[in-house]
Amino acid sequence: MPKLSAGAVSIDCEVRGEGPPLLMINGFRRSRVVWLEGVLKPLSERFQLILMDNRGTGHSDKPQDGYSIEAFADDCAAVISGLGFPAAHVFGVSMGGMIAQRLATRHPQKVRGLALGCTTFGHGSIAPEKRVGDLLRLVPGAGMDAREVARRQEELYYMPEFRQRERALIEGMFDLVSQNPTPLHAVKGHLKAIDAFDGMSDLKQIKAPTLVITGAGDPLFPAENSRLIAARIPGAELAVLPDASHFFWIEKPRETAGALTRFFGKLG
């Protein structure tokens, strides 16, 4: 697993599969471990997947400051170049979708095709309910450990039926993430980057062919945001997955992989 230099920060990543390169960018305080095999296996049969840990997560550097959507986007460009690819398809989810938008405007030559998942354009977008936003910002403390925080936040990420049916998967993912947790200063840095993001005016500047994909039941970034994004990006396609929430690629891995494969497959 290579560690690549992105300015003063080192970014850890891995490459798997064969085919056109596809950079996968995860979201707020999540490292690459939450992609899970359900979506990775079918995608790796068609693409050479670039799986990276955003700064502050996983095995990448976790600086005290320097967190912004622009910095994350520059990290992504450095990873693509550092691996020797002139360009790659890009799939970003949640905060990763914000990063992917910035990557497409700051480094357009690096983005061959673009997929934006369960994301927002920041200022001016449709906000979640206050209770939902408050849940997102919960962090472990004296009265609540990390597992209790994770269990309370589950309603942000999964449909109720999935939560009941897939307890082992959800608890196992918590155990996996807990092996290398994102430190509190990085969590705060990620939140600051999300709060500062303002991408509405940039959407019309995106030139890469774009797929916007989301779960119909996402309470964190309501699906109407994806419709608005798709309407503002010239020629963008929209896919709304029924019976899916914010972590749609975990709830609907085959459908997600199929949508990405069909879209990027058209681009070569």
Say what the pLDDT of residue 210 is: 98
Q: With bands split at pLDDT 50, 70 and 90, how would you rate the model's confidence at 2?
A: confident
- What is the per-residue pLDDT across 188-242, written as a single tens digit (0 to 9) for each? 999 999 999 999 999 999 999 999 999 999 999 999 999 999 999 999 999 999 9
CATH of the domain at 83: 3.40.50.1820
d(C-alpha 268, C-alpha 263), whole Å: 10
Say what the pLDDT of residue 154 is: 94
Q: With bands split at pLDDT 50, 70 and 90, how would you rate the model's confidence at 142?
A: low
Say what the pLDDT of residue 146 is: 84
Say what the pLDDT of residue 139 is: 85
Residues in the chain: 268
**Closest residue by Cα to residue 207 from 140, 113, 134:** 113
Say what the pLDDT of residue 8 is: 86
Q: State CA 54 to chain mean position distance.
A: 10
DSSP three-state, residue 174: helix
Provide the token pair at 131.
Answer: 């209770």
Q: With bands split at pLDDT 50, 70 and 90, how would you rate the model's confidence at 4?
A: confident
Average pLDDT over residues 32-52: 97
Residues 118/214, Cβ–Cβ less than 8 Å: yes
Cα torsion 156, 29, 83, 263 to 10°: value is 10
Say what the pLDDT of residue 26 is: 97
| Residue 118 identity (one-letter amino acid) | C
DSSP per-residue letters across 143-154: TB-HHHHHHHHH
Task: Tell me: pLDDT of 268 over 80.
Answer: no
Task: Spell out the residues 6+ positions from residue 33 whose beta carbon is closer than 8 angstroms to its own.
Answer: 58, 173, 176, 177, 180
Continuous segment of H or E residues that includes residue 88: strand 88-93
d(C-alpha 36, C-alpha 196), whole Å: 29
d(C-alpha 59, C-alpha 66), whole Å: 17
Domains of the chain: total: 1
Say what the pLDDT of residue 78 is: 97
Q: With bands split at pLDDT 50, 70 and 90, how would you rate the model's confidence at 6?
A: confident
Among 16-20, 149-153, 220-224, name the one with the lowest average pLDDT.
149-153
Task: Domain of residue 214: give its range.
Answer: 3-267
Cα torsion 6, 117, 225, 234 to 10°: value is 80
Residues 179/31, Cβ–Cβ less than 8 Å: no
| Residue 92 identity (one-letter amino acid) | G
Average pLDDT over residues 51-59: 97
| Whole-angstrom Cα Rg for the chain | 17
d(C-alpha 209, C-alpha 235), whole Å: 7
**Closest residue by Cα to residue 118 from 261, 249, 255:** 249
- What is the per-residue pLDDT across 82-94, written as a single tens digit (0 to 9) for each? 999 999 999 999 9
Average pLDDT over residues 63-82: 97
Say what the pLDDT of residue 76 is: 97
